Amino acid sequence: MTKHTPSSFASHLPWILFLTSLFLINFLARVLFSPLLPAIEKELKIGHSAAASLFIYLSSGYFIALLGSGFLSAWLPHRLVLAGSAIGTGIVLLLGATSQTLDSLRLIALMLGLTCGLYLPSAIAVLTDMVEDRHWGKALAIHELAPNLAFTLAPLIAAVMLPHFSWRIVLATPGIFSIFFGLSFLIFGSGGHFRGQVPQLENCRALVTSPAFWIMVFLFTLGIASTMGLFNMLPSYLVSHFGIAHDTANTLVSLSRGLTVFTVFFGGWATDRVGASRTLILVLGITGTITMALGMVPRSTLTLAKILVFLQPVLAVSFFPAGFAILARVAPANSRNIVVAMTISVAFLIGGGVVPYAIGLCGDAGHFGFGISMVGLFIASGAIVTPFLNLTQNMNKQSQSPPKSTT
């Protein structure tokens, strides 16, 4: 690993932005299916649940890759894992553009989850090794802009390109960029010449017996469901339920995510000022209520639906700074990487895969709005569950050291 010498944050900024670009394409590849779903349904003549099953396969691949990433990075240097993830993602997207059946597209989604899932653990390792610890807060904040930009760009790209090109061209375009950036990082990238450590199974066993861990899995499932899970089905809901055009729906969803690039910092501010638990109660309670309301809007009240589409993600993205702050207390420092990998993998599988599939099933049954409202109720339940963390965390204090601040 790198032995840091005193240096300015600005000297590291180009490589931080380079990694952020890799993360942007990685996340964009995972969320691009959402705005393309109506076009895919129409061409392949499939229902909402069949189309939404793509997210089950994608999240399953991501689940497997995230759990196995520690073993791969113990064998290969992190820079090779990062480059391989980007190049592999690009190749899978190009293959996806040639898919002719739902089954082949499901296989593509599974492979996409496998390639994308390798990125995050190695990226965090490289990023925190590249810069001094006094700069970690700023570096990670810049890196975390990528998901919110991807949520904004994915529907915007679809809205601009779909009127002129097939969904296959839209899917292939970021694939070309992913291969280019992966090769560029492999040739010119800085850092990542070290390997990770093999995950210790003893730490995994200790985690799965901890009530706090399972509460955090549940809460992160809600956080992912409120952001990616709902995002995956929102364009289809707007098109099917309200009868608006595909490009209009995608533009609306894109614009609604624009504010999240800024409001994500509210979560960090609120965590420091009022505490992480109180922030989660506020975020999950309000976000869940707005989501329930979105599912109850009559077909004739499109203006109200548009307002709720804009309001729903504003606080939802604020979940993650508070969530990660609490997650750092669930286990001692030497096993926090395992906590993150296990929590996010399970939560993504359910919140990013099962939840949109359940919404799709409701859509096929003619109850799209009911599915959205039930997800909102599911999210709001987190406001009731969160206080139980105070009880379970007291059980861990004797065996865990407090986390060091990275800000």
pLDDT 10s digits, 115-168: 999 888 888 778 777 777 666 666 767 787 888 889 889 989 998 999 899 999
Q: For residue 124, is it within any domain?
A: yes
> In the predicted model, what is the mean pLDDT of the chain?
84
Q: For residue 375, is it within any domain?
A: yes
Q: Nearest-CA neighbor of 58 among 6, 3, 110, 135?
A: 110
Same domain, 160 and 219: no
pLDDT of res. 283: 92
Same domain, 156 and 233: no
Span of 217-231, 257-271, 366-380 with lowest mean pLDDT: 257-271
pLDDT digits (tens, 9 = 90+) for 247-261: 888 888 888 888 787
Q: Please give the Cα distance from 109 to 69 (Å, whole number).
A: 18
pLDDT of res. 390: 67
Name residues whose C-beta falls within 8 Å of residue 310's C-beta, 6 or more positions apart in sequence. Answer: 255, 256, 259
Q: Nearest-CA neighbor of 40 among 239, 248, 261?
A: 239
pLDDT of res. 400: 46
Looking at residues 294-300, what average pLDDT do you find? 91
Same domain, 295 and 366: yes
Of 168, 198, 228, which residue sits at a domain end? Answer: 198
Q: Is the pLDDT of residue 308 over 70?
A: yes
Q: Please give the Cα distance from 365 to 247 (Å, whole number).
A: 25
Give percent above pLDDT 70 in the chain: 86
Q: Nearest-CA neighbor of 96 among 146, 127, 57?
A: 57
pLDDT digits (tens, 9 = 90+) for 170-218: 999 999 999 999 999 888 877 667 776 676 767 677 777 778 889 999 9
Q: For residue 309, is it within any domain?
A: yes
- Give the containing element (helix H, strand E) for 78: helix 78-96
Rounded alpha-carbon distances, angstroms, from residue 185 to 17, 24, 152: 12, 14, 25
Same domain, 175 and 247: no
What the block records as the tokens of 242 is: 């309200």
332 and 401 Cβ atoms separated by less than 8 Å: yes
Q: For residue 25, is it within any domain?
A: yes
pLDDT of res. 137: 60
Q: Please give the Cα distance from 293 to 309 (Å, whole number).
A: 10
Same domain, 180 and 261: no
Same domain, 266 and 155: no
Confidence of residue 402 (pLDDT cuts 50, 70, 90): very low
Of 198, 232, 252, which residue sits at a domain end? Answer: 198
Same domain, 123 and 233: no
What the block records as the tokens of 204 is: 């995994």
CATH of the domain at 266: 1.20.1250.20
Same domain, 146 and 249: no
- Amino acid residing at 75: W
Q: Please give the Cα distance from 393 to 399 (Å, whole number).
A: 11
Classify residue 370 by burial, with Cβ atoms within 10 Å: 0-12, 13-18, 19+.
middle
Angle between the N-to-C axes of helices 78-96 and 48-73, in degrees from 0 to 180, rounded to the nearest 10: 160
pLDDT of res. 330: 67
Q: For residue 139, is it within any domain?
A: yes
Q: For residue 1, is it within any domain?
A: no
Count up the domains in the chain and report the number: 2
Of 198, 215, 240, which residue sits at a domain end? Answer: 198
Domain span including residue 390:
200-407
pLDDT of res. 8: 67
Same domain, 301 and 213: yes
pLDDT of res. 68: 83
Same domain, 65 and 213: no
- Give the containing element (helix H, strand E) for 285: helix 276-296
243 phi/psi in degrees, rounded to 5: 70, 25
Same domain, 397 and 250: yes
Looking at residues 73-94, what average pLDDT do you find? 91
Q: Is the pLDDT of residue 5 over 70?
A: no
Q: For residue 3, is it within any domain?
A: no
Q: Please give the Cα distance from 291 to 69 (Å, whole number).
A: 34
Q: For residue 131, is it within any domain?
A: yes
pLDDT of res. 399: 45
Same domain, 178 and 297: no
